[in-house]
Amino acid sequence: MVFRRCGTKRWLGHHSLAHWTKGPSPLLRHAVPAVREAYLPDLVAGRTSMCFALSEPDAGSDTWMLRTRAGRVDGGWSLSGAKQWISNGGAADLAVVFAVTDADTFGARKGGVGAFLVRSDSDGFGASGNTPMFGHPTSNEAILHLDDVFVPDDHVLGDPLQGFPMAMEGVSLGRMYNCAKAVGLARFAFDAALAYSQERQAFGGPIAKQQAISFWLADSAIGIHAARLVSLDCARLLDSGGPGRKELAMAKVLATETALAVIDRAMQVHGAMGFTNELGLAEAWQMIRVICVADGTSEILRRQVAAQLLKGDVAL
């Protein structure tokens, strides 16, 4: 609803309320009560923010390539490594950092990864190399450097050997968030196109009566309706405790690719006006184009769907 009502404007609501990594991350439920209570009030109020630090220069879609390491020290852990493509990494007060805690277990792909809540003002923690992203003169996609960063025991989220499920939980949250973002921005663009097509006069009447335009509107409505229902069904499945691995992959592919098409049509309906910054449609297209890669590319997700089908998960 935030994205449907606000579109690409009113960014504070997107960042402090809607975004699953920048605001009060659900992963904080794995923190001990005292730590959670120490950070949540400021996060909820928007006075502080977070980031989710999983990706690395050599570990993107293949998270088993993690190189960041965490070693036991007196009273806690010492983290060393680098993270890349970390949204809000340069501004965050807190980072959820994933690091290998047991090389043998990790090498056998049976765990060995810990999740650590790291303060960005910790000694040895730095952010640099923000990468300018498509359509933006600046960016908040940072590279994080950890050089023997001390993390106390009470800032470990859950079992230090079983952080990988939390990493996947975070990725799943990101995919579900992106489904909502895609459906919301698609509806924002569709509403604008529907209204404009009935106002704009050409060839003796509103352009909405032209077959090409009317078909674009119909196709967009069909796609949005399907993407919304699939996303809601996936959310229901996850809320009930189901794994929803296949369904979540399907939902993100459908929602993002539908949104990309809907927004493109909306820009075309508006003609040259569709490319102006005033309407926000071009920025909406850019946002969706980015999330076709973020939190799992469409190709990776299709691969997951196929893998689940071949394992016998054929429920549709």
pLDDT, tens only, 54-79: 999 887 777 888 999 999 999 999 99
Measured between alpha carbons, how far is 106 from 102 in angstroms, rounded to an integer?
Answer: 6
The Cα 135–Cα 90 span in angstroms is: 19
Give the dihedral of Cα atoms 218, 220, 223, 228; nearest 10 deg. -110
pLDDT at 166 over 90: no
What's the pLDDT score for residue 150?
A: 98
138 pLDDT more than 80: no
Q: Is 0.85 surpassed by the pTM of this model?
A: no
171 and 296 Cβ atoms separated by less than 8 Å = yes
Range(s) for CATH 1.20.140.10 in the chain? Answer: 166-310
Q: What is the pLDDT of residue 304?
A: 94
Q: Does domain 2-156 have CATH number 2.40.50.140?
A: no
Instruction: Considering the chain, tell me which residue range(s) the CATH 2.40.110.10 domain(s) occupy.
Output: 2-156
Please report the pLDDT score of residue 15 as a whole number.
62
Task: Return the closest-CA partner of residue 177 out of 235, 264, 105, 101.
Answer: 235
φ/ψ of 57, rounded to 5, equals -55, -35
Question: What does the alpha-carbon distance between residue 272 and residue 246 come to, in Å, rounded to a whole number?
Answer: 40
- The listed range with the strongest mean pLDDT (35-44, 256-265, 273-282) is 256-265
Model confidence at 2, in pLDDT bands (50, 70, 90)? confident
Choosing among 1.20.140.10, 1.20.120.330, 3.40.50.2300, 3.20.20.80, the CATH entry for 166-310 is 1.20.140.10
7-25 as b/e: b if 16+ CB within 10 A: bbeeeeebbbebbbbbbbb
pLDDT in tens, 202-222: 999 999 999 999 999 999 999
Q: Any idea which residue has 């009030």 for tokens?
A: 41
Tell me: the pLDDT tens digits for 293-308?
A: 988 899 999 999 999 9
pLDDT at 20: 66
Average pLDDT across the chain, whole number: 90
